[in-house]
Structure 1
Amino acid sequence: MSLLRRSLATLAAVALTAGVALAQQAPPRPQPIPKPVAPQMPVPPPPDVDAQSWVLMDYATGQIIASKNPDERREPASLTKVMTDYVVSAEIAAGRVHPDDMVSISEHAWRAGGAGTDGSTSFLKLGSQVKLGDLLKGMIIQSGNDAAIALAEHTAGSEDAFVGLMNAYAKQLGMTSTHFSNASGYPVADHYSTARDIAVLSRALIHDFPEDYAISKIKEFEWNGIKQQNRNELLWRDPAVDGIKTGHTAAAGFCLDASAKHGDERMIAVVMGASTNRARADSAMALLNYGFRFYETHKLYEAGKPLATPKLWKGEADQLPIGVAHDLLVTVKTGQYDKLKASMDIPATLIAPFKKGQQVGTLHVTLDGQPLQDVPLIALQDAPQGGFFKRLWDSILLWFHHDRKVDAAAPAADAK
């Protein structure tokens, strides 16, 4: 037998041995982390509140904890101003407008939103100059329609152009059942939203523009010699409440978008179509209390920490660390932590190259057997191709490698 044939025979034998070893290799499993011990306790159903539609959302995760008709299209009334606030705040952050800008109060703002209307107003004087920052306070605290229109005109040149921005931001935020037709929430055709969408918007406002959001906890504001109180009476009931906005028209009923924070936990409650001012406040407060009492948020996995290091073929390295791009948080009923399960769905054959941040698989989280979250698993570092002989060797080994989809148990981690 020639030297070449003997070499090939030896190479095949080694490859066969390696192939058998690979076939017996167990799927990658992240190391278990001890679970927190929580007492088992019954969790009652959510309160039966006086509202046509409502949602209770955990701020950290964005999960809807409880709801009634969350996707029912309704007139949002002055909850519209949460989006007006978001758009103006975004334009301030982008440097296109500034809180110290002097804004001219146009006839349209004065006539459509001023004291001559039956809507809420900041009593802005026609032709006067008002700082943009004061207009934000007038809109958020006093719910001034004139302030909202003046802000829209200054920010986009006209209210119609501003409405285009509102709808563009709504689409960007994933508000799939919302369409705005004005900046104030005054009743007009084709102007609607849902409790879910308002909660999504509110979460984005708190996260993206915390300094502007802080205006909504101010209890009163004076302009043009007239002092007006914030219509959100929960600011007086509970110091944990720090926003967000009230709304009311005959068609919309009484609406309240409220948020409160206890320690590291924040809840958002959106109530639409309540029968009275007291009913909307009682309803929102009951929902917030329910969320804080009976739900808890846990951090399952930390961003950038390897959950698995599966085999990497034809790469400089032999393994590819994978994990999640952002801290993975979940909200569950108190005492149900041990019912959380996670599994990783990773292709059996991972062939270099991979870029850091590239999706490699999916992490599935379930609660008591029901799907809770699906999160991308990403490469935690660059994984370039190996040299010629490394790629050649792995190509031979791959002849003996049997494809299989990795479905490895990924136990939950420490509580947040």
Structure 2
Amino acid sequence: MSSRLLRIAVAAVIVAGGAGSVTSLAQQAKAPPGGIDTKAPRALIMDAGENLVLFEKDPDTLMVPASMSKLMTLAVVFRELRAGRLKLDDEFKVSEHAWRTGGAPSGTSAMFAPLNTMVKVSDLIQGVTVQSANDGAIILAEGISGTEEEFAKEMTKYAREIGLEQSTFANATGLPVEGHLMTARELGMIARYLITHYPDYYEYFGLHEFKYREKFTFRNRNPLVFDPELAADGLKTGFVKESGYGLTASAKQGDQRLIVVVAGLATPKEREAEAKRLLQWGFKNFKQFRLFDAGEKVSDALVWGGTSHYVPLVGEGDINILLPSAATGAVNATIHYEGPIKAPIKKGAQLATLRITSAESQATNEMPLYAGEDIERSNFLMRGLDSLGCLAFCWIL
């Protein structure tokens, strides 16, 4: 299938596209009909590069996330590192709360940091990513926010800022407590956020082992990182009695990166097998197709009160879409924006969303579109004529 055939099909529909509110990918994406199913009660697989959900199963029901919620814990830690408020060689003290609740006496996953000792931030991060150390998570939380409770509030606040609308956090560990809940979709979203926004720290998730105090060697609890054919490189397992076995994982083959979430499984073997099967299915059945080159005009949006009635819309770099490997090229495409768009308009301003759905899949590709040039504000007379045109013709020009 040539990109030229795709481009013609898309352009014919885009020209007819009108104004409208933008709906999030999370609300639009559905599973390809007859594609695949899973034993997991809740699951999701998405393409990280295209931000496209390929398969989902009960993805929006709040659930106990167990240690998979440590992804949000680490998002806060990485934010503090990026901002310079925290350094990898900083040291935090092991409090009695951290030791009793998440350390050796707790009987939960721990890095066994001794009470009242000082531990480097870099070691604590590895303890969390490799060993899923509850003591490590609490020590980080207390070191950053003073108390685990205050840190959990910061987790929820940060989650809202980056688009996680349902998740709420009551601790740094994922140990069962009222009000500590996430969805499969939002686990996928935070995984993608970590990969795209904190690439310098993402490598911690793929470490095969972590040696601590010359006494312990912890092996990564994510079994997929040891599978060379799959090329998985990280993220987080989870288990408590209330949640069953879960895994949020990512793998990259060539230029394509997929994220998988499975939750509520009965055994560790099921968790590994279902996550691996979903990733293999995604890599086998979907691939990228080029629609527009970087800087190439996709279409125009209507402008009110500007020196031009139209502003060209372009993507950020190349515009690729993800389609089933056997796709014929039949696609439906629309541009969604609130319009007409009021001038002045700055080049590079995000104005619209390009939404494309393949006939072979219900999964929806969504990509932001930006102003391709500056549009200055017109004079009073021209703005008056624009207003009359809008009233008389509803801007179908």
Instruction: Please report how far the alpha carbon of residue 34 of structure 1 lies from its aligned counterpart in structure 2 after TM superposition.
Output: 1.3
Contact 2:3 2:291 in 1 (8 A): no
1:196 aligned residue: 185
Instruction: Please report how far the alpha carbon of residue 105 of structure 1 lies from its aligned counterpart in structure 2 after TM superposition.
Output: 1.0
Does 1:137 find its partner at 2:109?
A: no
Does 1:125 find its partner at 2:114?
A: yes
Structure-1 separation of matches of 2:382 and 2:181: 61
Does 1:186 find its partner at 2:193?
A: no
Instruction: Please report how far the alpha carbon of residue 261 of structure 1 lies from its aligned counterpart in structure 2 after TM superposition.
Output: 0.4
Contact 1:314 1:386 in 2 (8 A): yes
Give secondary structure in 2 for the equivalent of 1:56. Answer: strand
Structure-2 separation of matches of 1:236 and 1:351: 53
1:298 aligned residue: 289
Q: Structure 1 residues 404, 376: closer, same or farther in 2, change over 3 A? A: farther
Contact 1:261 1:267 in 2 (8 A): yes
Instruction: Please report how far the alpha carbon of residue 134 of structure 1 lies from its aligned counterpart in structure 2 after TM superposition.
Output: 0.8
Percent identical: 34
Does 1:77 find its partner at 2:69?
A: no
Instruction: Please report how far the alpha carbon of residue 238 of structure 1 lies from its aligned counterpart in structure 2 after TM superposition.
Output: 3.1
Match of 1:286 among 256, 259, 277: 277
2:364 aligned residue: 372
2:218 aligned residue: 228
**Which shifted more, 43-52 or 148-157?**
43-52
Q: Structure 1 residues 218, 311: closer, same or farther in 2, change over 3 A? A: closer
Give secondary structure in 1 for the equivalent of 2:124. Answer: helix
Instruction: Please report how far the alpha carbon of residue 75 of structure 1 lies from its aligned counterpart in structure 2 after TM superposition.
Output: 0.9
Contact 2:224 2:276 in 1 (8 A): yes
1:56 aligned residue: 45
Q: Structure 1 residues 349, 236: closer, same or farther in 2, change over 3 A? A: closer
Letter of the 1:372 partner, please give it.
Answer: T
Match of 1:269 among 260, 267, 284: 260
Match of 1:247 among 234, 238, 242: 238
Contact 1:307 1:323 in 2 (8 A): yes
Instruction: Please report how far the alpha carbon of residue 319 of structure 1 lies from its aligned counterpart in structure 2 after TM superposition.
Output: 6.0
Give secondary structure in 2 for the equivalent of 1:338. Answer: coil
Letter of the 1:288 partner, please give it.
Answer: L
2:136 aligned residue: 147
1:383 aligned residue: 375
Letter of the 1:230 partner, please give it.
Answer: N
**Cα-to-partner distance string for 1:211-265 (whole Å, 9 max, x where unaligned):** 2111111111121301111111112223501011111111111111111000000
Structure-1 separation of matches of 2:187 and 2:253: 21
Contact 1:344 1:406 in 2 (8 A): no
**Cα-to-partner distance string for 1:353-376 (whole Å, 9 max, x where unaligned):** 433345666544333396835656
Structure-1 separation of matches of 2:311 and 2:38: 51
Give secondary structure in 1 for the equivalent of 2:81. Answer: helix
Does 1:321 find its partner at 2:291?
A: no
**Cα-to-partner distance string for 1:373-416 (whole Å, 9 max, x where unaligned):** 5656543222224679xx679959x88x9736559xxxxxxxxx
Match of 2:4 among 10, 34, 58: 34
Contact 1:348 1:406 in 2 (8 A): no
Q: Structure 1 residues 284, 384: closer, same or farther in 2, change over 3 A? A: same
Instruction: Please report how far the alpha carbon of residue 310 of structure 1 lies from its aligned counterpart in structure 2 after TM superposition.
Output: 7.3
2:23 aligned residue: none
Q: Structure 1 residues 67, 105: closer, same or farther in 2, change over 3 A? A: same
1:29 aligned residue: none
2:345 aligned residue: 354
Match of 1:113 among 102, 121, 132: 102
What RMSD over aligned residues (CA atoms) do the two structures have, in Å? 3.4
Give secondary structure in 1 for the equivalent of 2:5. Answer: coil
Give secondary structure in 1 for the equivalent of 2:112. Answer: coil
Q: Structure 1 residues 136, 45: closer, same or farther in 2, change over 3 A? A: same
Give secondary structure in 1 for the equivalent of 2:217. Answer: strand
Letter of the 1:322 partner, please give it.
Answer: L
Instruction: Mark the structure with the bigger radius of gyration.
Output: 1
Structure-1 separation of matches of 2:60 and 2:382: 56
TM-score normalized with structure 1 length: 0.78
Contact 1:345 1:406 in 2 (8 A): no
Letter of the 2:158 partner, please give it.
Answer: Y
Instruction: Please report how far the alpha carbon of residue 301 of structure 1 lies from its aligned counterpart in structure 2 after TM superposition.
Output: 3.4
- Aligned residue pairs total 369
Q: Structure 1 residues 96, 365: closer, same or farther in 2, change over 3 A? A: same
Unaligned stretches of 5+ residues in structure 1: 1-31, 38-42, 408-416
1:209 aligned residue: 198
Structure-1 separation of matches of 2:365 and 2:95: 49
Contact 1:359 1:376 in 2 (8 A): yes
Give secondary structure in 2 for the equivalent of 1:35. Answer: helix
